[in-house]
């Protein structure tokens, strides 16, 4: 008979809207580039600049596939390459891209949380260990979420991300709990739900948009469409495990 001891959370699109926070960050970065690299902004608006940077990102990954999970490095290097196309020296391009990245990270860590996100974490923290597992570059400590999460696991640090088993197994090992004593909460059916289940964890699909489950081969252990429903769902799972 297993007892639930640990709950892991994805961050982006589970606790806040990634699109919303990213767009706000990109707007501020573009404003900086308008001031410090006007020649670049004469050729690109906000949307087309993003697309051009993605193309440079692809070039970098083709040459350096080991950078797949190094999203911070890819973001900086892709902008630096683009700046060099507009007569910036390698040194100046690298320096400006680092400055823009710092501004990006400032706004990256100012999300608008989904309703009852923090209240739900506070309630769960009373009864369980909590951990964050992310493929992105948001930092729990910088967000102030370290008051809830005792561990922050990022794909950048491990060099591998969800749905691979390593991030989940690393978390289990840290807390010295078994897979069947852990629940992972996330929005992504593949990275979060499939990844967690492959590692032997229970899973909870945060289906905020009330979408149809996309897979026939497997299904989440639990599903909610609002974060405040998680404690009741967790109790339901715990009751089932106790039988």
DSSP code per residue over 51-76: HHHHHHHHHHHHH-GGGTT-HHHHHH
Residue 1 placed within a domain:
no
Q: How far apart are CA 42 and CA 63, in angstroms?
A: 29
Contact 60, 76 (CB under 8 A): no
Question: Which of 52, 77, 108 finishes a domain?
Answer: 108
Q: Please tell me whether residues 133 and 236 are part of one structural domain.
A: yes
Statement to judge: residues 153 and 221 lie in one domain: yes
**What percent of the chain is modeled with pLDDT above 70?**
100
Number of domains in the chain: 2
Q: Tell me 212's DSSP state.
A: P
| Token pair recorded at residue 36 | 């410090």
Measure CA 37 to chain center: 29
C-beta of residue 111 within 8 angstroms of C-beta of residue 16: yes
Question: Is the same domain home to 97 and 117?
Answer: no
Shared domain check, 237 and 189: yes
Asked if residue 118 and residue 102 are part of one domain, the reply reads: no
For residue range 14-50, what is the model confidence (pLDDT) as tens digits?
999 999 999 999 999 999 999 999 999 999 999 999 9
pLDDT confidence bin for 242, thresholds 50/70/90:
confident
* Residues 52, 172 within the same domain: no
Picking from 227, 146, 157, 162, the residue whose alpha carbon sits closest to that of residue 201 is: 162
Do 187 and 104 share a domain, yes or no? no
Mean pLDDT, rounded, of the chain: 97
pLDDT higher than 80, residue 243: no
Residue 233 and residue 185 in one domain: yes
pTM: 0.95
Last residue of a domain, one of 108, 136, 169: 108
Point out the domain boundary residue: 70, 92, 108.
108
pLDDT surpassing 70 at residue 1: no
Residue 154 counted as domain residue:
yes
Quick one: 73 and 102 in the same domain? yes
User: What value, to the nearest 5°, has the Cα angle with vertex 135 and ends 84 and 207?
Assistant: 125
In the predicted model, what is the mean pLDDT of residues 220-243?
Answer: 95
223 and 123 share a domain?
yes
Backbone φ, ψ for residue 11 (5° rounding): -110, -70
pLDDT for 123: 98
Terminus-to-terminus CA distance in the chain, angstroms? Answer: 8
| Structural domain span for residue 29 | 19-108
Q: Do 87 and 126 share a structural domain?
A: no
């Amino acid at each position: 008979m297993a007892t639930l001891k640990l709950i892991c959370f994805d961050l982006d699109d589970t606790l806040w809207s990634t699109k919303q926070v990213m767009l706000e960050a990109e707007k501020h970065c573009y404003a900086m580039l308008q001031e410090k690299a006007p020649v670049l902004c004469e050729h690109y608006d906000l949307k087309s600049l993003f697309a051009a940077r993605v193309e440079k990102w692809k070039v970098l990954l083709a040459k350096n596939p080991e950078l797949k999970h190094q999203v911070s490095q890819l973001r900086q290097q892709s902008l630096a390459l683009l700046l060099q196309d507009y007569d910036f020296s390698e040194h100046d391009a690298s320096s400006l891209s680092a400055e823009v990245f710092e501004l990006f990270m400032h706004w990256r860590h100012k999300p608008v949380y989904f309703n009852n996100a923090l209240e739900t974490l506070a309630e769960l923290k009373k009864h369980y260990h909590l951990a964050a597992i992310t493929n992105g570059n948001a930092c729990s400590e910088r967000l102030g979420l370290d008051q809830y999460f005792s561990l922050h696991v990022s794909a950048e640090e491990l060099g591998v991300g969800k749905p691979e088993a390593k991030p989940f197994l690393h978390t289990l090992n840290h807390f010295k709990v078994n897979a069947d004593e852990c629940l992972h909460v996330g929005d992504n059916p593949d990275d979060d739900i499939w990844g967690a289940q492959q590692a032997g964890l229970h899973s909870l699909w945060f289906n905020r948009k009330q979408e149809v489950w996309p897979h026939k081969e497997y299904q989440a252990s639990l599903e909610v469409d609002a974060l405040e429903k998680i404690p009741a769902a967790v109790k339901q799972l715990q009751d089932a495990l106790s039988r």
